[in-house]
Amino acid sequence: MFIHRPDPIHQVRVDTPDPVFAEKRLEQFGGATGELSAALTYFTQSFHTEDQGIRDMLQNIATEEFGHLEMVALMIEQHTKRARQGAQEKAFNSTLFAMRGYGPHVMDSRGTTWDARYVNEGGSVVRDLRADIAAEAGALATYEALIHQAPDDGSREALRHLATREVAHARMFMKALEAMNKLDDPIFGDLKPDDTVDVYFNLTAGPEAERRGPWNSEPDFHIRDLVPQAQRGGGMGAGQHVRHSPSRK
């Protein structure tokens, strides 16, 4: 059951209406990384787990995202309805709102209508939570870009709140994975890996081939060089053979 209260989850106050900026805000209403996509994603994912605590978390966050959708709608409304009545009517006429009318519409900033394929769910709560962390990062990047383009303090304040909640949600998803001992485990199902699970295939030619980091170093990963030494800048002579490091069993 959902209950709607006629006051937003966070104050929305637009001081300087800007319909061009409102058009950009459509990304967070009907765009791929917007609040509608997030709300429906988390609500659907909540039925992929029997853990009642994680289910409740996902449903609570989904409900909060609907509240964020309302905030975005209010911002778009204020940026368009008030601008249309003032000196910015020319700017209003250059946007999608000139044809669609003021207020939010279920589309992104380029006029592409929302698509159910934006709902990212895969039937496994571990898989879902990992996808959710990436989704929150994408939404955060969008909000950070919008903050830099916002025309007034009221808009920036609302956007900062929305961006902060993306960070909070990502932390919750990470904690849920940690509770399942799946935060740093790349396997989320019952896969039995083969003997290349700890092999790093070095397919780079030139000096960059010798660069090492925790992603391609012992003891976690065993290097298997698949590029001839000469091409890697090591000066292998004619007639010499490429030596492959054996994989660990």
Which pLDDT tens digit goes with each residue over 16-60?
A: 999 999 999 999 999 999 999 999 999 999 999 999 999 999 999
Res. 240 pLDDT band, cuts 50 70 90: very low
Confidence grade of residue 189 (pLDDT, cut at 50, 70, 90): confident
Identify whether 154 is part of a domain: yes
pLDDT(219) > 70: yes
Residues 44 and 157 in one domain: yes
Query: Which of the two residues, 160 and 244, has the higher pLDDT score?
Result: 160
CA dist., res. 144 & res. 187, Å (int) = 32
Kindly state whether residue 188 falls inside one of the protein's structural domains.
no
Main-chain dihedrals φ then ψ at residue 78, nearest 5 degrees: -65, -35
The answer on pLDDT for 73 being more than 50 is yes
Chain mean pLDDT for the chain: 90
Domain co-membership, 52 together with 102: yes
Task: Determine, yes or no, domain membership for 157.
Answer: yes
**Do 164 and 62 reside in the same domain of the chain?**
yes
Residue 145 vs residues 109, 139, 154, 161, 180: alpha-carbon distances, Å = 14, 10, 16, 14, 34
Write down the residue that tokens 């994603």 correspond to. 41
Alpha-carbon distance of 29 to 113, in angstroms, equals 10
Q: Check: CB of residue 201 under 8 Å from CB of residue 218.
A: no
- Count of C-beta atoms within a 10 Å radius of residue 52: 8
Determine phi and psi for 113, rounding to 5 degrees: -70, 150
Q: Can you give the pLDDT at residue 82?
A: 84
In this structure, the answer to whether residues 211 and 175 fall within a common structural domain is no
Contact 14, 77 (CB under 8 A): no
Q: 103 burial class (0-12, 13-18, 19+ CB within 10 angstroms)? A: middle
- Given a cut of 90, is residue 108 above it in pLDDT? yes
Residues 117 and 168 reside in one and the same domain: yes
Q: Which domain holds residue 230?
A: 193-249
Domain stops at, among 129, 145, 179: 179
Which one has a higher pLDDT value, 72 or 82? 72
Q: What burial class does residue 125 get, using C-beta atoms within 10 Å of its C-beta: 0-12 exposed, 13-18 middle, 19+ buried?
A: buried
Instruction: Say yes or no: 43 and 149 in one domain.
Output: yes
Total count of domains within the chain = 2
CA–CA gap between residue 42 and residue 59 (Å, rounded): 7
Q: Output the pLDDT for position 146.
A: 96
Q: Determine the average pLDDT of the residues in 238-248.
A: 43
Nearest Cα neighbor of 41 from 96, 106, 118 is 118
Q: Smallest Cα–Cα separation from 167: which of 127, 139, 131, 142?
A: 139
Over 70: is that where the pLDDT of 245 sits? Answer: no
Residue length, the chain? 249
Q: What are the distances in angstroms from CA 133 to CA 105, 159, 186?
A: 26, 19, 14
- Res 69 pLDDT > 80: yes
pLDDT at 238 over 80: no
- The answer to the question of residue 113 being in a domain is yes
Q: Please give the average per-residue pLDDT across 76-105, as a whole number.
A: 90
130, 207: one domain: no
Do 38 and 149 belong to one domain?
yes
Half-sphere exposure of 87 (CA within 13 A, CB side): 1
In a domain, 90, yes or no: yes
Of 157, 179, 201, the domain-final residue: 179
Q: Report the C-alpha gap between 105 and 112 in whole angstroms.
A: 10
Does any domain span residue 50? Answer: yes
Q: Are residues 39 and 151 in the same domain?
A: yes
Specify the pLDDT at position 61. 98
Least confident interval from 36-45, 144-153, 195-204, 237-246: 237-246
- Residues 160, 228, single domain; the answer is no
Same domain, 68 and 156: yes
Query: Which carries the bigger pLDDT value, residue 206 or residue 182?
Result: 182
Residue 7 lies in a domain: no
Single residue among 130, 156, 179 that ends a domain in this structure? 179
| pTM as predicted | 0.85
Q: How confident is the model at residue 233 (pLDDT cuts 50, 70, 90)?
A: low
Q: Determine what percent of the chain is predicted with pLDDT higher than 90.
A: 76
Query: How many Å apart are CA 122 and CA 45, to the nearest integer?
Result: 8
Q: What is the pLDDT of residue 193?
A: 94
Q: How far apart are CA 21 and CA 3, in angstroms?
A: 31
- pLDDT value at 248 more than 50: no
Q: What is the pLDDT of residue 231?
A: 67
pLDDT band at 230 (very low <50, low <70, confident <90, very high): low
Position 210 in a domain: yes
109 lies in the same domain as 205: no
CATH number where 173 lies: 1.20.1260.10
